[in-house]
């Protein structure tokens, strides 16, 4: 018996994604994403006013990997957590633990430079 793998939509070239966008890109419900945040320490979306979540590109990729492990490969939550634990834990250890201040001029400057770099690479 052959089960066809779900084809997920392409991830747009954006830096931040709202929870609804991520839910559509990963084909899971927003409440599932909030639950996975509690279960997988690798998922730490930035929170802004009103506790609105903003996911970065690497987190969308991580969610897709979690989805694949759980839905396609049949892992349990703890099995997927253990499977991801090695490499992801190493990456998190080197990551800045401080939250990003989106109201900071430095943050805005860095974002604009990142956008400029993306636009130059497209030309």
Residue 102 carries which DSSP code? Answer: T
Strand 52-56 to strand 16-18: parallel, antiparallel, or no bridges (unpaired)? antiparallel
Is the pTM of the predicted complex or chain greater than 0.85?
no
CATH assignment at residue 21: 1.10.1660.10
For residue 108, tell me if it sits in a domain: no
Question: Per-residue pLDDT tens for 14-52?
Answer: 899 999 999 999 999 999 999 999 999 989 999 988 889
CA 16/CA 77 separation, integer angstroms: 26
Assigned domain for 102 exists: no
pLDDT in tens, 70-94: 999 999 999 999 998 854 444 444 4
Domain of 80?
16-97
pLDDT score at 5 = 72
pLDDT, tens digit, 9 for 90 and up, residues 93-103: 444 434 455 55
Burial class (CB in 10 A: 0-12, 13-18, 19+), 4: exposed
Strand partners, 48: 52
Q: Would residue 80 count as lying in a domain? A: yes
Q: Please tell me the total count of domains within the chain.
A: 1
């Amino acid at each position: 018996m052959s089960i066809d793998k779900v084809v997920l939509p392409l991830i747009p070239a954006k830096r931040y994604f709202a929870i609804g966008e991520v839910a559509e890109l990963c084909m899971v419900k927003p409440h599932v994403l909030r639950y996975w945040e509690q279960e997988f320490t690798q998922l730490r979306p930035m929170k802004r006013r009103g506790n609105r979540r903003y996911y970065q590109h690497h987190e969308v990729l991580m969610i897709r990997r979690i989805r694949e492990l759980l839905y396609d490969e049949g892992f349990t939550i703890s099995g997927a957590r253990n499977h991801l634990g090695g490499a992801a834990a190493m990456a998190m250890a080197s990551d800045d633990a401080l939250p990003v201040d989106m109201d900071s001029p430095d943050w805005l400057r860095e974002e604009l430079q990142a956008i400029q770099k993306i636009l130059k690479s497209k030309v």
